[in-house]
Amino acid sequence: MTRQSSIPISRVVWFLSLGLVGCLADLVSKHLVFRHPSLHRGSEWWLWEGHVGIQKSLNEGALFGMGQGHVELFALFSFAAILAIPLWLFFFGAAQDRWLTVTLGCVMGGVLGNLYDRLGWAQLTWDRFDPSRAGERVYAVRDWILVQWNDQWVWPNFNIADALLVCGAALLLVQSFIVRADNSGSESSLESS
């Protein structure tokens, strides 16, 4: 319990604010894109022709469409992250590190945004996306950001939540190398003294 009291309240505020703002940005952007009547499944609207645009798609899997049809499993992983991240930060004291707190706040925003979709709270049905499943409720992540290099290289569609998750994972990786370098530097200085 002593670790909890030494964590600045600003870390809690940063974590909650980033998680909330990230989740809201994701959900609002998905809502705006998916309610737009002129965008049909598979059609594109280009911001930069052939490179960056908007295209609706539904993903019943995870990153890059892996694990299609296992929505319940990914929802379970999301609930585990929702419990584990604040526990690690605020009970075990990882929030002492500002960068880690900010990074995991972004990750939390991504987890919450995609969990919302996986639970079916977007109130979509498959009618406009897959006529063979008409009337069924959609339990899939709404993706809409399209990035490609002409037709030679096409990145799988994603959303703001996915971007938060990937950037958070990259920052965690970078941070692990920085911490490792700091630790090896302090070990060498101990050995030399």
Looking at residue 47, its amino acid is L
Give domain status of residue 193, yes or no.
no
Q: Specify whether the CB–CB gap between 49 and 64 falls below 8 A.
A: no
- Domain residues for 6? 2-188
In the prediction, which pLDDT does 37 show? 78
Backbone angles phi, psi at 4, to 5 degrees: -60, -45
Catalytic position from the list 26, 117, 127, 143:
143
Q: How many domains does the chain have?
A: 1
In the prediction, which pLDDT does 39 show? 75
Give domain status of residue 125, yes or no.
yes
CA nearest 82: which of 51, 46, 118? 118
In the prediction, which pLDDT does 19 show? 98
Give domain status of residue 168, yes or no.
yes
CA gap 163, 171 in Å, rounded: 12
Catalytic position from the list 26, 97, 162, 182:
162
Q: Could you give the maximum distance between any two Cα atoms of the chain, in Å?
A: 72
In the prediction, which pLDDT does 5 show? 56
The answer to whether 162 is a known catalytic residue is yes
In the prediction, which pLDDT does 167 show? 95
Give domain status of residue 140, yes or no.
yes
| Residue bearing tokens 């919302």 | 116
Query: Which segment of 36-40, 67-71, 154-158 scores lowest on mean pLDDT?
Result: 36-40
Give domain status of residue 33, yes or no.
yes
Instruction: Give the number of C-alpha atoms closer than 13 A to the C-alpha of residue 76, restricted to the C-beta side.
Output: 4
Give domain status of residue 81, yes or no.
yes
Higher-pLDDT residue of 152 and 142 is 142
Give domain status of residue 152, yes or no.
yes
The answer to whether 151 is a known catalytic residue is no
Task: Give residue 187's pLDDT band: very low, low, confident or very high (50, 70, 90).
Answer: very low
